[in-house]
Amino acid sequence: MKSVRAFETYHPLTLFAFFACALVICMFTLHPVLLAVCYLSGVGFYGMLAGRRKLAASLARSIPLTVLIAAVNPLFVHRGETPLFFLNDNAVTLEAILYGAAAAVMLMSVFYWFKCYNEVMTSDKFIYLFGRVLPKLSLILSMALRFVSRFKRQYREIDDAQRAMGMYASKSLTDRLRSAFRVFSALITWSLENSIETADSMRARGYGLRGRTSYNNFFWRRRDGFMLAFIVLTAGAVIALLSAGRAGFGYYPTVTPIGFSVYDLLCYGALTVLLFMTVLLEMKEAVRWRYSLSKI
Amino acid sequence: MDKALLKKTIAFIVILALIPAVIALGVVLFRDRRFNIISIAVALLACVPFFLFFEKKQTKARELVVIAVMVALSAVGRLIFIGIPGFKPLAAIVIITGLAFGAEAGFLTGSLSAVLSNIFFGQGPWTPFQMFVWGILGFAAGLFYRRQAAKTWPALIVWGIASGAAFSLLMDIWTVFSLDGGWNWARYWTALIAGLPYTAIYMGSNVLFLLLLFKPISKKLERVKVKYMLFDYGETRGKE
């Protein structure tokens, strides 16, 4: 049941600001606590968005990869003071393995946050957002989006016609390739000619003239203001603390202890609040949805 | 040099100067050397001057739509050939568009194709690099758009190989930065070698696509260009 989602109902600007901050912070740090927060929140949010089954399938693929990246790191890096064993006269150090694990988890949290981005920032939101800064490019993109589904349908039609004429009936690779080429070529002719019609109709309706308005489906609400302020505050705090050298962590030559000063805790706390806010929002919505279903 | 061109050049230099500024700021600000963020920022910033120039100048509606068609075709092409692993006509289409319509159309087709096809296949840290690589490929092809030598089959093979290699060469820079924080040649080579089978298929399919698609598609593009007087065809016709 993925019909209810809370976070994606915010304004595109709010959402984009959130993802930009989340991704930058994820790529920023190798601190174990911050990494854990980034990774768990990313995985958790993706799980809330995509459902348990999809999450399990993607974890089954990503966890072995994470382990592999961590295990392979000592082959490239021979720094660190705690040799575990020697391989071809090169020390395999504990630090190198831990660093590799941290880098791998960092990569994975970036991937999971991008997965969440793909679920939440749908193309209409993206185009709406960039339509203000780059109107022509967004127009091209939204037209292209429309064309994709149109071309796919046309491709199938041409393909059917070719098959009905008895062409490329076999399933061999060369036949499949040749038919794909042939149909693709026909599609290109069709789409270029057809698109000119679109352009002429745009011109007839006054494209490029001044004073034209455009349809808008997104509205800035008060809660967007609050949410944006919240994002800017927490993400700003995290980035400021990190840039000031707080919540620092080193892997070489030896692993440094995790800091628990007031500033460090502030940094952990701010990031946790920022990233897990999404998970909490989705949970709250899911509970509310279930509650309202139970009343029917 | 006329005024508009001068302005264009100055703006270009200013934006180009922004890139080293970002790197410098990143090095000063991020003490644990997070070059992965910086490299993404650089790839994105490198696209900005092209985008801004296009936004500023006058464009015919027909040109916009034709670019949109090429962008959509490159995404549909990826969907059509999805059953054959490694076969993506995207780079070929971008290069052909650049060769037929010029550098600007080439850049836009390349970079927007990256955004569009990732709307279907998933955005990721690779998106900015793809935008940059495919954009520059289209741009480079566009620089040769009046040279017949760039459209012969040996040249097409070079285009195909270059376009196949360019992406992994650049993307693996990000991989290395992500995993090491700094630069590590051994890791870079390993990443390239690990990706070699994939890159090889990609290069081969690019060459194949270019050889097979170049003639038919560019004939169609030339025809549209002449028929509807697109991409400065009308202006240059008298001079040639």
- pLDDT for B234 equals 57
Q: Where does the pLDDT of residue A135 fall: very low under 50, low under 70, confident under 90, or very high at 90 and above?
A: confident
Chain A contact for B124, CB < 8 A?
yes
pLDDT at A40 over 50: yes
Which pLDDT band holds residue B4 (cuts at 50, 70, 90)? low
The pLDDT value given to residue B80: 79
Please judge whether B69 and A191 are an interchain contact, meaning their C-beta atoms are less than 8 angstroms apart: yes
Q: Mean pLDDT over all residues of chain A?
A: 87
Q: Is residue B71 part of a domain?
A: yes
Q: Which residues of B touch A30 (CB under 8 A)?
A: 32, 181
For residue B88, tell me if it sits in a domain. Answer: yes
Within-domain flag for B51: no
Question: Could you tell me which residue, B56 or A287, shows the higher pLDDT?
Answer: A287
> Percent of chain B, pLDDT > 90?
12
CB contact under 8 A, B72 and A145: yes
Domain that holds residue B152: 59-237
For residue B71, give both structure tokens. 């962008």
**Cβ–Cβ below 8 Å for A73 and B179:** yes
Would you say residue B30 lies in a domain? no
Q: Does B201 touch chain A (CB under 8 A)?
A: no
| Position B14 in a domain | no
Model confidence at B1, in pLDDT bands (50, 70, 90)? very low
Give me the long-range contacts of A202-206 (CB less than 8 A, separation at least 24): A202/B61, A202/B65, A203/B61
CA distances from residue A118 to A112, A137, A166, A280, B234 in whole angstroms, order as listed: 10, 20, 41, 19, 42
Nearest residue in A to B58, CA atom? A208
- pLDDT for A285 beyond 50: yes
Stronger pLDDT, B25 or B33, i.e. the higher one? B25
Specify which of A144-148, A252-256, B8-12, B164-168 reaches the highest per-range mean pLDDT: A144-148
The three state secondary structure string of chain A is: CCCCCCHHHCCHHHHHHHHHHHHHHHHHCCCHHHHHHHHHHHHHHHHHHHCHHHHHHHHHHHHHHHHHHHHHHHHHCCCCCCEEEEECCEEEEHHHHHHHHHHHHHHHHHHHHHHHHHHHCCHHHHHHHHHHHCHHHHHHHHHHHHHHHHHHHHHHHHHHHHHHCCCCCCCCHHHHHHHHHHHHHHHHHHHHHHHHHHHHHHHHCCCCCCCCCCCCCCCCCHHHHHHHHHHHHHHHHHHHHHHCCCCCCCCCCCCCCCCCCHHHHHHHHHHHHHHHHHHHHHHHHHHHHHHHHHHC
Question: Per-residue pLDDT averaged across B136-154, rounded?
Answer: 83
CA-nearest residue of chain A to B179? A103
Q: Is residue A156 predicted with pLDDT exceeding 80?
A: yes
Domains held by chain B: number = 1
Instruction: Assess whether pLDDT exceeds 70 at residue B218.
Output: yes
Q: Which residue of B29, B32, B78, B222 is the best one to mutate when testing the A interface, meaning the one whose CB has the most A CBs within 10 A?
A: B32
Residue B46: CA atoms inside 13 Å, Cβ hemisphere, count?
Answer: 20
A136/B59 Cβ within 8 A: yes
Contacts of A106 in chain B (CB under 8 A): 178
Question: Which one is predicted more confidently, B16 or A48?
Answer: A48
Q: Which residue has the tokens 């459902």?
A: A51
> Per the domain annotation, does B38 fall within a domain?
no
More confident residue, A223 or A93: A223
Chain B hits for A115, CB-CB cut-off 8 Å, are 122
Residue from the list A104, A185, A200 with its beta carbon closest to the beta carbon of B216: A185
Backbone phi and psi for residue B85, each to the nearest 5 degrees, phi listed first? -60, 135
Residue B32's pLDDT band (cuts 50, 70, 90): low
pLDDT of residue B33: 58
* pLDDT for the residue B213: 86
Which tokens belong to B175?
Answer: 């991989």
Question: Mutation test of the interface with chain B: which of A188, A197, A200, A210, choosing the one with the most B Cβ atoms within 10 A?
Answer: A188
Residue A92: strand pairing partners: A85
* Ranges B22-26, B79-83, B161-165, most confident: B161-165
| Candidates B69, B90, B130, partner chain A, best to mutate (most A CBs within 10 A) | B69
Q: Is the pLDDT of residue B161 over 50?
A: yes
For residue B23, tell me if it sits in a domain: no
Q: Would you place residue B239 in the very low, low, confident or very high pLDDT band (cuts 50, 70, 90)?
A: very low
ipTM over 0.90: no
Pick from A226, A22, A218, A13: which is nearest to A133 by CA?
A: A13
Is B120 in CB contact (< 8 Å) with chain A?
yes
Per the listing, tokens 């139970």 go with A294
Please state whether the peptide bond connecting residue B89 to the residue before it is cis, i.e. omega within 30 degrees of 0: no
Cβ separation of A195 and B68 shorter than 8 Å?
yes
- The pLDDT tens digits for A25-36 are 998 888 999 999
Half-sphere CA count of B138, side-chain side, radius 13 A: 32
In a domain, B47, yes or no: no
Closest residue of chain A to B52, computed from CA coordinates: A134
Taking 90 as the threshold, does the pLDDT of residue B69 lie above it? Answer: yes
Q: What is the pLDDT of residue B11?
A: 64
* pLDDT tens sequence across A72-89: 888 877 777 777 777 777
Over residues B180-204, the pLDDT tens digits come to: 777 778 888 888 888 888 888 888 8
Residue B238 — very low, low, confident or very high, per pLDDT cuts 50/70/90? very low
Average of per-residue pLDDT across A224-242: 93
CB contact under 8 A, B79 and A103: no
- Average pLDDT, integer, range A101-124: 91
Residues 134-173 of B with CB under 8 A from A: none
How confident is the model at residue A144, as a pLDDT?
92
What is the model's pLDDT at position B240? 40
Q: Which of A109-118, A176-185, B48-57 has the highest mean pLDDT?
A: A109-118
State the CATH number of the domain containing residue B165.
1.10.1760.20
User: Who among B72, B123, B179 is closest to A117 (CB)?
Assistant: B123
B28 touching chain A per CB within 8 A: no
Task: Locate the chain A residue with the closest alpha carbon to B115.
Answer: A141
Q: How far apart are the first and last CA of chain A?
A: 16
Distance CA A53, CA A103 (A): 26
Given pLDDT bands bounded at 50, 70 and 90, which one contains residue B27? Answer: low
State the pLDDT at residue A200: 87
B211 touches chain A (CB under 8 A): no
